Amino acid sequence: MQRILFLLTIILFTSCAKKENATFTLQGQINNSENKYVLLYQENDIERKNNTLIDTIKLDENGNFSVALNKEPHFYSLVVNENENIPLAIDKDQQITIESTNATPLVTGSKDTDLLNAYENLRKESLDRLVNTIRKQIVTENKSENPNPKTIDSLGKLELKNYDLHLAELNAFIKEKMGTSIAIYPTSLRWKDDNIKFFDSLTNAFENAHPNLAISKKLREKVTRLQQTAVGGKVPGIVMTTADKDTVSLFSITEKYTLIDFWASWCGPCRRESGILNKLYEKYNEKGFTIYGVSLDTNKKQWTNAMAKDHRIWANVSSLEGFETPAAYNFAVTALPMNYLIDSKGIIIAKNLHAEELELLVDQVMAN
């Protein structure tokens, strides 16, 4: 009898200790899971899609669950089914309730998750309004009986312009609404160096509010990569293979100017830019200009077919890892198209220029 009481005391003490030391708690009801459990992942690196399984949370016969966890504030995902997960931006001392009984889960008790959901709602609405509507017009024109190249070209330029407007709307939301919320971390997936001063200042404030957090370090790493790949910086090396498995190093190219072109077969604006790239390559290749194409494809056949159709006869490499390609990470490439014009020493003299702007700049530098 004394032994049983001793064991009960230990269990009770351990249970109380876990609750007292818990950083946050999760509870709620999930009725649409295919299993008797859900999985909680910590999203360690959103660009490399690297995560860690934190806990397997059991559901009772009614789908109810409750768990207290001693983990640091971070960006998490609660995986309900194979193709369904609930994003959670969690700060300390939050008691979060999740009700997922239909297609739209309800999360309460986390203002950071509220901000993340508001950001995601804006992102989807803004992308549809500014970008997807243009893409649909391009698709319609391409499928017409007599596609007008000028119309397609004009729409393509508008798509690129509107994507920048889309990012500007997202950045304004971050600046006006997010403060130093944990929800800032997943937004860094779309940071670009045209707002690097803002992101640097934002990261400084975040580091002060959340010293020593893993995501504070990840945000600082992102800002550093943006700074290193800004105009005036020296590009990191790239060593990748062609479709024929030949290794081609970026730094083995010693031309006066090289355009590093990140693209993919599925990227409409990238494909439409092939004409200008062909024109510049044919005009200046023998005079010291070349192109180093880095495909973010995942399907080799689609990649090689696109190269053949678009006459991309310059150096083209790919690891077929999509945005998980190490070069994409090192160059902070999270959207396509993206390019960098470098000199023979690897110094970036311009980036993210397209259409007439790209053609004009190459004409200027090659004239000197």
Model confidence pLDDT, tens digit, residues 142-191 = 999 899 988 998 999 899 999 999 999 999 999 999 999 999 999 999 99
**Is the pLDDT at 228 greater than 70, yes or no?**
yes
Give residue 10's pLDDT: 38
Count of alpha carbons within 13 angstroms of residue 252, beta-carbon side: 8
**Is the pLDDT at 2 greater than 60, yes or no?**
no
Starting at the edge strand found earlier in the chain, the sheet holding 84-90 runs 50-58, 37-45, 74-81, 84-90
* DSSP string for 48-111: TTEEEEEEEEE--TTSEEEEEE---SEEEEEEEETTEEEEEEE-TTEEEEEEESSSS-EEES-H
Taking residues 73-83, what's their average pLDDT? 92
Is 248 in contact with 242 (CB distance < 8 Å)? yes
- Write the DSSP symbol of residue 35: S
- The domain made up of 20-109 has a fold known as Immunoglobulin-like (2.60.40)
Is 338 in contact with 262 (CB distance < 8 Å)? yes
Is 235 in contact with 262 (CB distance < 8 Å)? no
Nearest to 225 by CA among 125, 328, 122: 328
Domain 239-367, classified CATH 3.50.50.60, yes or no:
no
Residue intervals of the chain classified under CATH 3.40.30.10 are: 239-367
Taking residues 26-32, what's their average pLDDT? 91
Count of alpha carbons within 13 angstroms of residue 265, beta-carbon side: 18
Residue 66 β-bridge partners: 27
Give the mean pLDDT of the chain: 91
Residue intervals of the chain classified under CATH 2.60.40.1120 are: 20-109
Is 317 in contact with 295 (CB distance < 8 Å)? yes
CA 203 to chain centroid, in Å, comes to 17
**What is the pTM assigned to this prediction?**
0.85
